[in-house]
């Protein structure tokens, strides 16, 4: 049997980022740049006012103070977006708005708060410093300066910086398009009547959610009967346009485990047993003329989820040119539980806080990989060593978080507040009764 790490290494060794594409900046959200991006403009693009006020020549305001303001005539108004060229003659001021271009000859702006705000003959109560309230062209970046380095993920701030710098298109690792195929004669689509012997396909929609949360794009979610021809046709169809294919079911030792049967010998496909619980039967390979990575995951919903977290998520990230941790944590077991001998065991746990502030974890429901309901309450997977046969109460365990850490922490602090409020209420007698 392969260890989890061996299998993950074998998978990742075959994963390349998808081809780079050039996209309008706004459509690059979430994608990773493949090259340094430099500014096409000076920022700010022109000298402008950082305040609503009056553009002045400092020399005209010698000795100005609240007690002896200087009064000067206004030559006119300059609003943000004014495209004319204005000149400030000695002995005059321009009324100017935030972001408006500075008139030629002005060397400072007196903010409106330091005046009486008169539109034509304002009282100016300070002599500003040289350059006061002026944003100089290029003080932010100069044309040619680096704005975003290669390998950066494009988010909201990056979009603002790039567009301001005059950059409209950006080269990024392309969006990763994922196809998901559930297999099994017993499956019915969510919402359809469930007959005798049938179950709802939960793996397909679960994987769709996982893939989308991981920042990739789902281009197909389908379900297939346990039929060789149909399975072969569908997988090959998806290989034409998807960048990664995930199937579930049909890879165990059953008579009708036809995914394994159909894909054995194709591309670099390998079906192996991995020393993990759940998730032992794993298939992976790179297939078709576009070298598309294909994961064939076991069908039990918990096995599918664990396999996704352990193998598919890292592969998706590499395909997208990303490397991210952030989902790992540690916690203390509040009670003991058994773990499978010689297999790395993933136990669904609920996360609470212990009195020291650490995460305290306890199993969410039973251990069976078919037990789907506890997925609704599990916050994390606790990972226990292949050597161990149990996790002892009080021991530290590694966690793979199933929700964003911030979301878990928010729930825990809500819980803590509620507990304090409850205690106060139970303790009663806020006005004291002499006890």
Considering only residues 12 to 31 of the shown chain, the ones binding ligand AMP according to CB under 6 A are: none
Shortest approach of ligand AMP to residue 80 CB, angstroms?
57
Q: Is 249 in the site for Mg ion (CB under 5 A)?
A: yes
Distance, CA of 327 to CA of 402 (rounded, Å): 8
Distance, CA of 210 to CA of 203 (rounded, Å): 10
**340 touches which of Mg ion, ligand AMP, none (CB within 5 to 8 A by kind)?**
none
Candidates 60, 186, 208, 227; binder of ligand AMP (CB under 6 A) is: 186
Q: For the window 263-302, what string marks contact with ligand AMP as x by the rule CB under 6 A?
A: -----------------------------------xxxx-
In sequence order, what are the beta bridge partners of 400?
328, 381
Comparison of 64 and 372: residue with beta carbon closer to ligand AMP: 372
Candidates 44, 184, 278, 279; binder of Mg ion (CB under 5 A) is: 184
Comparison of 115 and 231: residue with beta carbon closer to ligand AMP: 231
- CA-closest candidate to residue 8, choices 393, 217, 318: 318
Tokens of 160: 């603002």
Shortest approach of ligand AMP to residue 304 CB, angstroms?
7
Comparison of 53 and 301: residue with beta carbon closer to ligand AMP: 301
- Residues 6 or more apart in contact with residue 414 via CB below 8 angstroms: none
Cα–Cα separations (whole angstroms), residue 427 to 355, 414, 418, 419, 431: 20, 20, 14, 12, 11
Q: For the window 131-160, what string marks contact with ligand AMP as x by the rule CB under 6 A?
A: ------------------------------
For ligand AMP, which stretch binds (CB under 6 A), given 108-116, 153-161, 170-178, 180-188?
Answer: 180-188
Element (H, E) at 221: strand 217-224
Considering only residues 236 to 255 of the shown chain, the ones binding ligand AMP according to CB under 6 A are: 248-252, 254
State yes or no: cis peptide before 278, omega within 30 of 0.
yes
Comparison of 171 and 186: residue with beta carbon closer to ligand AMP: 186
Tokens of 372: 């789907």
Comparison of 203 and 234: residue with beta carbon closer to ligand AMP: 203
State yes or no: cis peptide before 44, omega within 30 of 0.
yes
Shortest approach of ligand AMP to residue 260 CB, angstroms?
10
Which three-class secondary structure state does DSSP give residue 374? helix
**118 touches which of ligand AMP, Mg ion, none (CB within 5 to 8 A by kind)?**
none
Strands 123-124 vs 70-71: parallel, antiparallel or unpaired: antiparallel
Strands 328-333 vs 380-384: parallel, antiparallel or unpaired: unpaired
Exposure pattern of 301-328 as b/e (b: 16+ CB <10 Å)? bbbbbbbbbbbbbbbbbbbbbbeeeebe
Q: What does the CA dihedral 203, 1, 290, 299 come to, rounded to 10 degrees?
A: -10
Comparison of 250 and 331: residue with beta carbon closer to Mg ion: 250
350, burial (CB in 10 Å: exposed 0-12, middle 13-18, buried 19+) = middle
Comparison of 24 and 254: residue with beta carbon closer to ligand AMP: 254
**301 touches which of ligand AMP, Mg ion, none (CB within 5 to 8 A by kind)?**
ligand AMP
Candidates 42, 47, 114, 201; binder of ligand AMP (CB under 6 A) is: 201
**182 touches which of ligand AMP, Mg ion, none (CB within 5 to 8 A by kind)?**
ligand AMP
Comparison of 157 and 196: residue with beta carbon closer to Mg ion: 196
Interface residues with ligand AMP (CB under 6 A)? Answer: 182, 184, 186-187, 199, 201-204, 248-252, 254, 298-301, 370
């Amino acid at each position: 049997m392969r260890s989890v790490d061996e299998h993950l290494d074998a998978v990742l060794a075959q994963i390349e980022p998808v081809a780079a594409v050039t996209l309008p900046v706004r459509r690059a959200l979430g994608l990773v740049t493949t090259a340094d991006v430099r500014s096409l403009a000076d920022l700010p693009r022109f000298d402008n006012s950082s305040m609503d006020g009056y553009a002045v020549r400092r020399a005209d305001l010698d000795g100005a103070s609240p007690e002896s303001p200087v009064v000067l005539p206004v030559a006119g108004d300059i609003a943000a977006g004014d495209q004319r060229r204005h000149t400030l003659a000695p002995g005059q001021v321009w009324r100017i708005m935030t972001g408006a271009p500075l008139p030629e000859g002005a060397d400072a702006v007196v903010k409106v708060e330091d005046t009486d705000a008169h539109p034509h003959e304002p009282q100016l109560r300070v002599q500003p410093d040289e350059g006061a309230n002026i944003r100089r062209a290029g003080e932010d970046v100069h044309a040619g300066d680096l704005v975003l380095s290669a390998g950066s993920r494009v988010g909201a701030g990056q979009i603002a910086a790039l567009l301001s710098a005059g950059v409209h298109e950006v080269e990024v690792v392309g969006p990763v398009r994922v196809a998901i195929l559930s297999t099994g004669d017993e499956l019915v689509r969510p919402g359809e009547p469930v007959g005798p012997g049938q179950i709802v396909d939960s793996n397909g929609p679960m994987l769709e959610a996982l893939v989308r949360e991981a920042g990739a794009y789902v281009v197909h979610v389908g379900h297939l009967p346990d039929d060789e021809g149909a399975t072969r046709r569908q997988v090959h169809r998806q290989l034409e346009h998807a960048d990664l294919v995930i199937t579930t079911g049909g890879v165990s030792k059953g008579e009708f485990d036809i995914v394994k049967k159909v894909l054995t010998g194709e591309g670099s496909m390998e079906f192996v047993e991995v020393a993990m619980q759940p998730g032992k039967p794993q298939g992976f390979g790179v297939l078709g003329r576009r070298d598309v990575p294909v994961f064939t995951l076991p069908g039990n919903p918990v096995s599918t989820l664990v396999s996704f977290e352990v193998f598919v998520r890292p592969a998706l990230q590499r395909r997208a040119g990303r490397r991210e941790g952030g989902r790992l944590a540690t916690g203390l077991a509040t009670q003991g539980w058994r773990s499978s001998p010689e297999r790395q065991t993933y136990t669904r746990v609920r996360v609470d806080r212990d009195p020291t502030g650490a995460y305290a974890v306890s199993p969410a429901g039973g251990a069976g990989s078919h037990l789907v309901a506890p997925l609704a309450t599990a916050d994390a997977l606790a990972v226990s060593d292949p050597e161990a046969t149990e996790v002892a109460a009080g021991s530290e365990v590694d966690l793979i978080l199933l929700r964003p850490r911030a979301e878990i922490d928010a729930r825990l602090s809500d819980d803590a507040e509620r507990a304090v409020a409850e205690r106060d209420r139970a303790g009663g007698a806020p006005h004291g009764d002499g006890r």
